[in-house]
Each structure stands twice: as C-alpha cells, then as structure tokens.
Amino acid sequence: MTNNPQHTTLDLLRHGQLETPGVFCADAKAPLSKAGMSNLFKTTENGRWDIIISSPQQRCLEFAEKLAQQKQCELIIDKQFKEMDFGDWVGIKSETLWQQHREKYQELWQTPDDFVAPNGESMQAFYQRIRDGLKQVLAEHTNKSILLITHGGVIRTILSTALEINSLSVLKFNISYAQMSRLHCYSDGHFSLQFLGKDY
C-alpha cells in the first residue's frame, strides 16, 4: 500500500448488453439493447467525473455521448481502448466458433499470450495498445477522476497491468455488462482496486 496521497481515479465501465446476444465479438457498429442502455444509466447514476473517455465503437460511444451531456462532462474518444480486432471472428456466435474452430478457440483461453485472431490483431499487439493507452491517460490527466467506457478484454488487460496478474489468471475475472470497478492510480506507480458498492 502506498503512502502517496496524490492519485488519479480511473473507473472502468464495460458497455451494456447488445441487441445481438451470443455473438463472440460484435461489429463496431452494433448497438446496445434498451436494457443495456438502461443498466448503464443505473450504474452511473450517482457518479461524478472530470473526464469521460470512450472506445469509438458504437456499443460504448452511444452511451458515452448521452452520459457526457447529462453530467456536463468532457468526452474524449480514444481508439486505443477499442476491443481487440478479432478479424474473421467478428459477428460470429460463440457457439459457432466452438463447433467449427474449437482448437483455435481453446487457444485463446488456454494460451492467450500466443493467440492471434484469424486475419485480426495479435494478443501481444492488443496488450501493448492498451498499456500504451493507459500510460498516456495517466500522464495527461493526473489527479483527475476519469470514467473509461470500454470492453471486457480491455478492462481485463488494464487490471492485469495494474495488479501485476498474468493474462491467463485475469481471464477468470467475470467482467459483466454495465459493471464498474475503480482503480486508484498513484503517482508513484502503485495501483489499488476498489470494488464499487455500498459500504456497511
């Protein structure tokens, strides 16, 4: 635990449920369902931030624009925090991938560091993109309160980096739709994770 009181608060929010359930990785323009949008507003109802940062993909950006207007908050669209490019697997249902590409699909969950999406992005390139984005955000917005609206894979990578957990272990984290967690990012390089909810 750090003794340095100066820190940036980074809230990590996964987008809500999509109109197309069961898809392994949705298309960039895939919209949220009505329930997905509603749940995001419930999650952020009492939040206050200096800056909102959003993935450019529609399932994040659609809500981010509405929330920024509601909270009268600066909105930054940052392509570094878009989901991993899964190439040929975009728009395909998980069940189909399991049936038709089982060996490759298992590789993602068993040896994620070596995974390369078919005609898409390698996991190593994805990791580096997210870590570069995190470093840049913390350097540019020191001592601010930030909400990052992004994707499950992005959030896992940020948590893996901040908490020094290997990529295989962090796959065990259940990052639900519209779920938010908070990282306290200290100026001496330390991080602490806060599970959001009521204090009793």
Please choose, from the candidates 160, 117, 162, 111, the residue with its C-alpha nearest in 3D space to the C-alpha of residue 135. Answer: 162
Distance, CA of 47 to chain centre:
18
β-bridge mates for residue 23, sequence order: 93
**3-class DSSP state for residue 128?**
helix
* pTM of the complete model: 0.93
- For residue 152, is it within any domain? yes
Per-residue pLDDT of the chain (200 residues; tens, 9 = 90+): 445 556 899 999 999 999 988 899 999 999 999 999 999 999 999 999 999 999 999 999 999 999 999 999 999 999 999 999 999 999 999 999 999 999 999 999 999 999 999 999 999 999 999 999 999 999 999 999 999 999 999 999 999 999 999 989 998 888 999 999 999 999 888 999 987 754 43
* pLDDT recorded at residue 5: 55
* pLDDT recorded at residue 91: 93
How far is 56 from 58, CA to CA, in rounded Å? 6
**3-class DSSP state for residue 19?**
coil
Contacting residues for 200 by C-beta, under 8 A, at least 6 apart: none
* pLDDT recorded at residue 51: 98
- CA dihedral over 99, 110, 174, 30, signed as positive or negative: negative
**Domain containing 12: what range?**
7-195
Give the Å distances, CA to CA, from 150 to 55, 62, 102, 123, 146.
5, 12, 27, 17, 13
- For residue 137, is it within any domain? yes
**What phi, psi does 105 have (nearest 5°)?**
-65, -40
Domain count, the chain: 1
β-bridge mates for residue 18, sequence order: 32
**What phi, psi does 99 have (nearest 5°)?**
-75, -40
Structure-token pair, residue 30: 């895939």
**What phi, psi does 15 have (nearest 5°)?**
-60, 165
CATH of the domain at 80: 3.40.50.1240
* pLDDT recorded at residue 1: 41
* pLDDT recorded at residue 4: 52
* pLDDT recorded at residue 2: 43
- For residue 98, is it within any domain? yes
